A and B are shown apart, each in its own frame.
Chain A
Amino acid sequence: MPGISAEGTDVMSKLILALGFVSTFSLATWLQPRFAAMHGNQSENQSALAAMMGDSRRLFAQQFFVKADAYFHSGAYPGIFDAKSGDTNKAPDVDMADAAHGQGESDAELGHESSYLGRSDDWIEKLGRNFFPTIHTHLDKPGQAREILPWLKLSAELDPQKVNAYVTASYWLRHDPKHADEAEPFLREGLRANPDSYEILLELGKYYGENKKDPVRARNLFELAWAKWQQQKAAEKKPDELMGSEILGELVRNARQSGDTQRQLHYLELLKPLATDKDSVQKQIDALNAGAK
């Protein structure tokens, strides 16, 4: 039969085609890195995928990383139009990663209506707020953090250069006794893609130090991380100062554990210019010097 019904079917088939395309596409993004890993020639395959997706791959990776952060906040999460979202790209990285470093938002904020919302201006907004999560919670009950892992993994697979994804995932994996051992292969994978990443080396060091109780390997990794950090500093790549101080902090702790005062002092001296709280570093140095005498 001619005519509209044919046209109607036409629209339908187009839409199904589009849907099918989207789904095959997402499937491909899932499967492709797996095959790549299977065949071992990652670089070649990845360039094929990269060619297909181009730079949008990075965008997706960032999107999934943000998704992970939203999950971390149980869905109560500022959108791009919310007041506190001026720096959309940075905010989530910092937030979830902060939690990963044990220094998230103050607990006082938790359990209340999220502060990013501000006051509602009209009845539409007021009504609408009943229908999306606004209670600020963190996914930190035992075992809950696993829910964010798929997004981090996806993010890392789409953009292997996304160091944050490896590090954050590893943090959550390491803190879940059932998954601690998964952290290492994932970090190694990240390291293969980012051989110069001091962040990943630091995280790997923590894995050996804290989870594996292997201070020697941990120390090697921390030292390597510090070397990479310094390399980048020398190459004027402006490495993250906070990270630098964290690496040194770990080295200090590692030295303290093995009772090596000399090494401890060495790293404390290095730490001093980077640290935010220079006085306390100085005090530690003084205390050590006093102890040595």
Chain B
Amino acid sequence: MAEFFSTPKNVVHVGHGGRAKSPHFHFHFSPIYLYSCPVKAVVEIKDLRVEYPSRELGQRTKVAVNGLSLQVAAGEVFGFLGPNGAGKTTTMNVLLGFVNPTSGSASIFGVDVQQPIARQRIGYLPELTYYYKFLNAEELLRFYAKIFNIPEREREIRIDEVLKLVELDHARKRLIKTYSKGMQQRAGLAQALINDPDLLILDEPTSGLDPLGRMKVREIIQRLKERGKTVFFSSHELGEVETVCDRVAILCQGELKTEGTVAEITAKHQMNLERVFLKIVGYQEE
């Protein structure tokens, strides 16, 4: 594993060296207008409110996200923190158009999230996904690559690269149903990277992984950041957030509690990030 991330050569492989270095890669599918008006905020969320029909009797709705406003600037790694049930996944579901906001709006690259074209430059890793168990990793990636309309020659190169990156190269012909959990998660990461996205939305990318796997994911995020990608990821692992994030936001019960760089937050609250987090989620220290 280490050899992958220590050799810069491999890093270049990750995504053809980014947008600037491989214009031909984007050429095939990116509409001009996405570039024609350079937007600073890659992700923009305004006054977002999401209500679900309640599962409990008596109550009519359950508010999952309430009045959330966020901006993620191009090229930054943004950590979206919060305890379980805070509304992180819901926010991401809105960004990807799976859930319609009750009120408020969200846009990606300046395009409303309802438009399918907004998703051309996104890589998304959902939490806990079981990929098509009758396919092998190679076929899975080929399928997703076809969806992105990546031309055939390009496609096979990308598949090779991405599989090497997540170290599934040896298992590429094995059916996904035979994969361990960590391998499945890496297959998920591979599919999120197949289109060389400019924005990565990762929903708890490290959950369920062993320490080694976590470290690897962290390193991948680091590399992507170095190459100018924007990463928006959710987590409740404070350690990893502190090491890789430029900025963090802490969400609790659907509401934004605090936002800023790690340094800003620790300075403001006069305690380390873990304490801040615990205080926000309501944990009382003796």
Tell me the A residues contacting B by CB distance below 8 Å.
1, 3, 5
Bound Cα distance A1, B130 (Å): 8
Residues of A within 8 A of B177 (CB): 1
Complex Cα distance, B133 from A275, in Å, reads 78
Taken residue by residue from 156 to 181, chain B's Cβ proximity to chain A (1 for < 8 Å, 0 otherwise) reads as: 00000000000000000000010000
What CA separation (Å) do A1 and B133 show in the bound complex?
8
Contacts of A3 in B (CB 8 A): 130
Q: Classify the secondary structure of B's interface with A.
A: loop
| B residues in contact with A5, CB < 8 Å | 133
Shortest C-beta distance, A20 to chain B (Å), equals 24
Task: Rank and list the top 5 A-B pairs by shortest CB-CB distance, nearest first.
Answer: A1-B130, A1-B133, A1-B177, A5-B133, A3-B130
Q: How far is the CB of A10 from chain B (nearest CB, A)?
A: 16
**In the bound complex, CA of A3 to CA of B129 (Å):** 12
A1 neighbours in B (Cβ, 8 Å)? 130, 133, 177
Q: How many A-B residue pairs have CB under 8 A?
A: 5
- Chain B 104-139, CB-CB to A under 8 Å as 1, else 0, gives 000000000000000000000000001001000000
Does more than half of chain A's interface fall in helix, strand or loop, or is it mixed? loop
**Smallest CB-CB separation from A2: which chain B residue?**
B130
Say how far B142's CB is from chain A's closest CB, in angstroms: 21
Nearest A residue to B134, CB-CB: A5
For residue A84, give the distance in angstroms from its CB to the closest CB of chain B.
Answer: 53
State how many angstroms separate the Cβ of A12 from the closest Cβ of chain B: 14
How far apart are the CA atoms of A1 and B177 in the complex, in Å? 8
A-B contact pairs, 5 of them (CB 8 A): A1-B130, A1-B133, A1-B177, A3-B130, A5-B133
Tell me, in angstroms, the Cα distance from A121 to B130 when the chains sit together. Answer: 55
Minimal Cβ-Cβ distance residue in B for A5 = B133
Expressed in whole angstroms, the Cα–Cα distance for A1 and B128 within the complex equals: 12
Q: Give bound CA distance, A5 to B133, whole Å.
A: 9
Cβ–Cβ < 8 Å partners of B130 in chain A: 1, 3
CB distance from A5 to the nearest CB of B (A): 7
Closest chain B residue to A3 by CB distance? B130
Task: For residue B65, give the distance in angstroms from its CB to the closest CB of chain A.
Answer: 26
Q: How far is the CB of A198 from chain B (nearest CB, A)?
A: 66
Q: Tell me the bound Cα distance from A3 to B177 in angstroms.
A: 14
Q: Say how far A65's CB is from chain B's closest CB, in angstroms.
A: 47
Bound Cα distance from A3 to B130, whole angstroms: 10
Chain A residues positioned under 8 Å from B133 (CB to CB): 1, 5
Nearest-Cβ distance from residue B249 to partner chain A, whole angstroms: 32
Complex interface residues of chain B between 235 and 257 (CB less than 8 A to chain A): none
- A7 smallest CB distance to B (angstroms): 14
* Bound-state Cα–Cα, A3 to B133, Å: 13
Q: How far is the CB of B108 from chain A (nearest CB, A)?
A: 30
Instruction: Give the shortest distance, in Å, between A8 (CB) and chain B (any CB).
Output: 12
In the complex, what distance in Å separates the CA atom of A5 from the CA atom of B135?
Answer: 14
B130's closest neighbor in chain A, by CB?
A: A1
A1–B179 alpha-carbon span in the complex (Å) = 11
Q: Give the CA-CA distance A86 to B130 in the complex, in Å.
A: 59
C-alpha gap A10/B130 in the complex (Å): 18
CB distance from A90 to the nearest CB of B (A): 55
What's the least CB distance linking A128 to chain B, in Å?
Answer: 40
Q: State A39–B113 Cα separation when bound (angstroms).
A: 77
Whole-angstrom distance between the alpha carbons of A119 and B264 in the complex? 87
Give A30 Cβ to nearest chain B Cβ, in Å: 38
- Complex formed: what's the CA distance from A1 to B181 in Å? 11
Cβ of B68 to closest chain A Cβ, rounded Å: 30
Closest A residue to B133 by beta carbon equals A1
Q: How far is the CA of A205 from the CA of B130 in the complex (A)?
A: 75
Mark contacts of B67-84 with chain A using CB atoms, 8 A cut-off: 1 yes-contact digit, 0 otherwise. Answer: 000000000000000000
| A236 vs chain B, min Cβ distance (A) | 70
**Whole-angstrom CA separation of A132 from B247 in the bound complex:** 73
User: Given the complex of chains A and B, what is the CA–CA distance between A5 and B134 in angstroms?
Assistant: 11
Cα distance A159–B177 when bound, in Å? 52
What does the 1/0 interface line of B174-200 toward A look like (CB < 8 Å)? 000100000000000000000000000
Interface residues of B in 14-63 (CB under 8 A from A): none
Bound-state CA distance A5–B130 (Å) is 11
In the complex, the chain A residue whose C-beta lies closest to that of B177 is A1
Assembly CA distance A179 to B123 (angstroms): 76
Shortest Cβ gap from A71 to chain B (Å): 44
Measured CA separation A3–B128 after assembly (Å): 13
A166 to B93, CA, bound (A): 71
CB distance from B128 to the nearest CB of A (A): 11
Question: Min CB distance, A9 to chain B, in Å?
Answer: 11
CB distance from B4 to the nearest CB of A (A): 29
The distance in angstroms between the C-alpha atoms of A1 and B123, with both chains bound, is 25
